[in-house]
Structure 1
Amino acid sequence: MCSEDKCILPLFPEFPESLVTREELVKYLSIVIFTASAQHAAVNFGQFDWYGWIPNSPSTMRMPPPELKGQMDMDYIMKSLPDRGRSSLALGTVWALSRFQKNELYLGTYPEMCFTEEPVKEAIKTFRKKLDEVTNIIKSRNEELPFDYSYLSPDKIPNSVAI
C-alpha cells in the first residue's frame, strides 16, 4: 500500500523502506542474486527427477482421500492416480521446465564485458575462481554418493531465471 510519504511492499513486509549502508545494499542484492540464480536452479532443475515418477507427486487424484486409517490398498491407490493423459501433461510440463537452454549462460559467465575498470575485472576473476573451487568440491563429494547432487553446483546454475 502506498501513501504520499512512503511505499510499503505488501508482499515483503520485512523489506526496508530504504537502504542506508553499504552492508544493507550488499545483503539485499545478495538475496536478489541468490533467488534469481542458485535458489531457482535448485528448485527448478530437479523437478523432473522428482515429479517424473507420478506416485511421488501426482498432478491429480481421481478418488477422494481415505477417511480412516487402514482403508488404503494397492487397488485404491492405482484407481486414485491420474490417468495416462493427465500424467503425460504433467510429465511434459516438468520435463520442459527442467531443461537447460542450448545457449545457457552459467553463473560467472558474462560474454559481453561491460566493465573496463581493473578492480571490477579482478573481482570477476576472483568470483570465477571461487565458483570453480565450489564446483570442484561438489564434484568431489558427488564421487562418493550413489546419486550425485549437482543442483547447486555453480557450473549448473544459470546466471538468471529464463523461462
Structure 2
Amino acid sequence: MVQKAMQDLTYSSLCFPEAIKARGMDNTEDIPYYFYRDDGLLVWEAIRAFTAEVVDIYYESDRVVEGDQELQDFVKDVYMYGMRGKKSSGSGPLPACGSALGFPESIKSKEKLSEYLTVVIFTASAQHAAVNFGQYDWYSWIPNAPPTMRAPPPMVKGVVTIEQIVDMLPDRGRSCWHLGAVWALSQFQDNELFLGMYPEEHFIETPVKEAMARFRKKLDTIVSVIAERNKKKKLPYYYLSPDRIPNSVAI
C-alpha cells in the first residue's frame, strides 16, 4: 500500500490548492460547505505569507538563494534519498505547484523557496492534523473501518445478511483494542505546541519576531472565523482550526 501511494506522490499533490483542484473540489458554488478545503486554504495562505516574509528577511535576491549551499544540499538530499523519480524537474528550477513536474534538485528563487517551505510546514502541521485528529470520530464506529475481519468480504452485492456482516466484523476484544488505539492517536499532548508557537528562540532578529507576531495574528483571525461558522453547525468542523493544529507531527 505504501509503495502504491508513493507512486502517486508528486510535488503538486503536496501543494494544498493544487491538490484540491486535482480532485475537482475547488468550485465553491458547485461544492459548498467543504470545510476541509475552505479552512485549509486559509491556513495555507497564512503560512505562505509568513514564509515569504521570512525569506525576504534573509535573502536579498534570487541569486543569494541559489548560492546558499546548505539550502541546496538539503533540497538535493530530499530528492536523492526520498523523492528520486517522483516526476522530478531535474537540475532545473522548482516547478510551480500544479505543473506536471515534481520534486526539484535545486531552488533558484525566493518565490520558490517560500513555496517549498510552505509545502513542508503545511504537510507536517495542518495536513497531518486534518487526517489525524478525526480518527476517533470516524473509527469509533467499528463498521466504518474495522481493524480486522473474521471472514472474507462478500463477492456479490445485495445478498449478504446482517448476521453475515456481524460475523465478519472483529470481536469485542479486538474492537476495544482498536478504540483505545484511535482514541490515543486523536489526543493532543499535555505540552502541545500549536501552529505559530515558537518558545525556543532560534530567530532573535526583530524583523523575524515581528513576522511571527503577524503570523499568529492571522492564525487567530482564522480561529475566530472557524469558531463563528461552527456555532451554526450541528456537526462542526474544527480539525483545521489553527488552535488545534500542532506545530509538527508528534506521535
Unaligned stretches of 5+ in structure 2?
Answer: 1-76, 88-101
Counterpart for residue 59 of structure 1:
147
Counterpart for residue 102 of structure 1:
190
Residues in 2 aligned to 1:114 and 1:16: alpha-carbon distance in whole angstroms: 27
Counterpart for residue 138 of structure 2:
50
Aligned residue pairs: how many?
158
Given candidates 177, 195, 203, the residue that maps to 1:89 is: 177
User: What TM-score, normalized by structure 2, do the two folds share?
Assistant: 0.60
Counterpart for residue 150 of structure 1:
238
Q: Structure 2 vs 1, CA of residues 35 and 108 (structure 1 numbering), >3 Å: closer, same or farther?
A: same
Counterpart for residue 140 of structure 1:
228
Residues in 1 aligned to 2:175 and 2:137: alpha-carbon distance in whole angstroms: 15
Q: CA deviation at 1:11?
A: 6.5
Residues in 2 aligned to 1:10 and 1:82: alpha-carbon distance in whole angstroms: 40
Residue by residue over 1:19-64, the C-alpha shift from the partner in whole angstroms, topping out at 9 and shown as x without a partner, is 1111111111100000000000111110011001101111111122
- Identity score, percent: 59
Q: What one-letter code is carried by the residue in structure 2 that aligns with 1:110?
A: Y
Counterpart for residue 127 of structure 2:
39
Unaligned stretches of 5+ in structure 1?
Answer: 1-5
Confirm whether residue 26 of structure 1 aligns to residue 100 of structure 2: no
Q: Structure 2 vs 1, CA of residues 144 and 30 (structure 1 numbering), >3 Å: closer, same or farther?
A: same
Q: CA deviation at 1:91?
A: 1.1
Confirm whether residue 162 of structure 1 aligns to residue 250 of structure 2: yes
Q: Which has the higher helix share?
A: 2
Question: After the TM superposition, which segments of 4 or more aligned residues of structure 1 sit over 3 Å from their partners?
Answer: none
Paired residue secondary structure (1:134)? helix
Paired residue secondary structure (1:115)? coil
User: What TM-score, normalized by structure 1, do the two folds share?
Assistant: 0.91
Given candidates 78, 84, 94, the residue that maps to 1:10 is: 84
Given candidates 76, 80, 102, the residue that maps to 2:168 is: 80
